[in-house]
Amino acid sequence: MDLWFNLTLVFVAGLITALATGLGAIPFFLVEKIGDRWNVGLWGFASGIMVAASVFGLIFEGLQNGGSQPVPKLVAGLLTGVVLVVVSHRLLSDSDIDPQEYEEADFKKLVLILGILTVHSFPEGIAVGVSFAELGFEGVEGIVVAGQLVPLLAIFMTVAISIHNVPEGIAISIPLRSMGVNEWRMVGWAVFSSLPQPIGAVIAFAFVRVAREFLPFGFGFAAGAMIYLVLTEFIPEALDQGEGLPGGGRRELIVGVASGVALMVPLAFI
């Protein structure tokens, strides 16, 4: 019974982060377009959140709960996370998905779309799942939810990834807006883009609970994948959005990153 309850709780946490992506479409209920300056700042904000969550949440936790020799496992996990993203991108690099085709997508097209979105969303789900590794254990600092002691790290990562997903939802909604997709469908597709997160969360949680000695590897894996995504996807996307701004949008990007880090670091040490 506890196992199914724990898996359900982890799934719900991952689902919350996925639903948060839909919030990115909400501004389009109020305005027609979000300016480049705000887009750059939001991508920077998301980048700062993910790097801070990875370093001060996952990596620190891996070092503290990795037994006598956590560093080799943590480093191996970091490298594996990077390799996963690199290989996934190469496998899918020839797949050109047009958001306009979403409405008419057949089964194969939907599978292909989901595969591409998984590259971005799955590592974030893994981060949520790994952060729940000590769910219900005595002596863990946390908050009681439905009779179970939920680790503070799990709450921290769920909040961090939920906040991070809002700018992702905006980025998904922008091309859909330009193609005339209505606001509620934009919300739906934004949430759809993050549906791999609850699945990844459950898989990662089940793995680290069974193989406790691989916990530092799991923390490293999630951190490596997310940091690599920030460096190769989020920041380049921000700079592309800010190409027409003074200084190429670098000022807005730096402010955004600093704001994201400033928000998450205090939470990591509560």
User: What is the model's pLDDT at position 104?
Assistant: 46
In angstroms, the CA 131 to CA 73 distance is 16
- Mean pLDDT in runs of 10 for the chain (270 residues)? 83 94 88 81 84 84 72 89 80 54 47 56 83 79 80 88 83 71 86 88 86 79 85 85 88 91 76
**pLDDT score recorded for residue 253:** 92
Residue 143's DSSP bridge partners are 150
Q: What is the residue extent of each domain of the chain?
A: 3-268
**By the 8 A CB rule, do 224 and 79 touch?**
yes
pLDDT, position 102: 46
- The answer to whether 126 and 225 have CB atoms below 8 angstroms apart is yes
For residue 5 the two structure tokens come to 């309850």
pLDDT at 14: 93
186-191 contacts, C-beta under 8 A, 24 or more apart: 186/25, 186/28, 187/22, 187/25, 187/26, 188/22, 189/99, 189/102, 190/21, 190/22, 190/24, 190/25, 191/18, 191/19, 191/21, 191/22
Give the model's pLDDT for residue 198: 93
Q: How many residues does the chain have?
A: 270
pLDDT for residue 116: 57
pLDDT for res 111: 52
